Amino acid sequence: MTRLILSRLVQIAVTVALLSLCAFLLIAAMPGDPIDLAIAADPRLGAEDAARMRALHGLDQPVIARYLAWAGAVLHGNFGHSRLFAQPVAQLLGPALWNSLQLLGLALSLAILLGVGLGAVAALRPRLGPLVQGVALFAQAVPAFWLGLLLIILFAVTLGWLPAGGEGGWRFLVLPIATLGFAHLASYARHATAALTAAMAEPHIRTARAQGAGEARILFREALPNAGVPLLTLMALDAGALVSGALITETIFARPGMGKLIYDAVMGNDFNLALLALIVVALVTMLATLAADLAQRWLDPRLA
C-alpha cells in the first residue's frame, strides 16, 4: 500500500507539472498580455512605458524562462497577485476552495445517502425498481438552475424559511446542497441499483440467507461492500467536477466558490489566477481519485 501511495504521488506531481506547462504555454500563445490590458485601460501609457513594464515583470523573456521563473516562485509559496481582484492569489484560492469543498462534501453525502437508499430499495424489492428508475430519470432531467430557482421561490420568497443566497451559517447551505445533491442523485441511484442487484445474486448471499441472516445484515455486511467499489469511482469523478463545475449553483446562490472564481478569472483575463485555480482543481481531482483507489482496495483486498 505504501508503494502504491508513493507511486501515485509521483504520478500526480509529474501530471501537475506537465499540466501547468501546457496551460502556461497556451496562455502565453493567446494574443495580448497583462501589459496590453494595462495600456488599453490607461491611454496615457506609451510604448516606452510598455517596454519598461514588460522588462520589470519578465514578459520580455522567452516563454520557457518565464515558466521556470513562475514555477520556481510557486514552489517557494509565492503565488503572485490577481490582476482582476488586486489581491494575493493565495487569499482568493483558500476561501474559494474551502467553500467549494464544504458544499461538495455535503451535497455528495446527500446524493450518496439518497441514491444508495433508493438502490437498496430497488435491490430488495424488485417490484419497486421502475419507481426508483423513474425518480432517477426525473432527477437527471431537471436542470440545476431551474431547481435552484424553484427552491429559492418556495423556501426563500414564499415561505421565508431560508435565505436566498450568500454566506453565513448552515441555513445558507441548505438550498445549494439540496440543488446539487438532487442533481447528482440520478447517477448514484442507477449505479447503486445495478451494483446491489448484482451483489444480491451472488452465491454467498444465498448462503447467508440460508443460514438465517436478516435482510439488513445481508445488505450492509455482505452486498454493500462489494457494490461500493464502482460508487467510489463515481465519487472521485464527481469531486473534481463539482470543485470546478458548480458554477451555476454558486452563481444562483451567490456563493464565492471555485467555479465562480475560475469563470471570473477567465472572463477578466486574469491569467495567473486562472492558471493556479486550474492546477488546484486538477490536484483535488487526482487526490480524490487516489483516495477512492485506496478505499476500493480496503473494501476489496483482491484489487491490491
Concatenate the DSSP letters of all residues of 161-175 into one string: -S-SS-SSSTHHHHH
Residue 247, CA distances (Å) to 3, 253, 255 in order: 37, 10, 9
Which residue is listed with cell 447551505?
173
pLDDT in tens, the chain (304 residues): 788 788 889 999 999 999 999 988 887 776 666 666 666 566 666 666 666 666 665 666 778 888 888 888 888 888 888 878 888 888 999 888 888 888 888 998 899 899 888 988 888 888 888 898 898 888 888 888 899 999 999 999 999 999 988 887 888 999 999 998 998 888 888 888 888 888 777 777 777 777 777 777 777 777 777 777 778 878 877 776 677 667 788 888 888 888 888 888 877 778 888 889 888 888 888 888 888 888 777 766 666 5
Q: Would you state the pLDDT for residue 18? A: 92
Q: Would you state the pLDDT for residue 152? A: 94
CA atoms of 166 and 24, how far apart (whole Å): 33
Report the half-sphere exposure of 162 (CA within 13 A, side-chain side): 22
**Of the candidates 253, 256, 242, the residue with the CA atom closest to the CA atom of residue 85:** 256
- Which residues have a Cβ under 8 Å from the Cβ of 251 and sit 6 or more positions away? 259, 260
Which residue is listed with cell 424489492?
125
CA atoms of 57 and 34, how far apart (whole Å): 10
Residue 146, CA distances (Å) to 135, 153, 183, 257, 286 in order: 17, 11, 11, 20, 31
Report the half-sphere exposure of 87 (CA within 13 A, side-chain side): 9
Q: Would you state the pLDDT for residue 302? A: 63
Indicate the class that CATH gives domain 91-303.
Answer: mainly alpha
SS3 call for 126:
helix
Q: Which three cell numbers stand for residue 204?
A: 454467498
SS3 call for 219:
helix
- Which residues have a Cβ under 8 Å from the Cβ of 143 and sit 6 or more positions away? none
Q: Would you state the pLDDT for residue 150? A: 93
Domain ranges of the chain: 2-79, 91-303
SS3 call for 119:
helix
Residue 25, CA distances (Å) to 28, 29, 56, 59, 271 in order: 5, 6, 20, 13, 11
Residue 237, CA distances (Å) to 91, 253, 282 in order: 27, 24, 11
CB atoms within 10 A of CB 191: 19
Alpha helices, DSSP H, located in the chain: 2-29, 34-41, 47-56, 63-75, 89-124, 129-141, 144-151, 171-183, 185-200, 203-210, 215-217, 224-245, 247-252, 258-267, 271-299
Q: Would you state the pLDDT for residue 223? A: 78
Which residue is listed with cell 516562485?
73
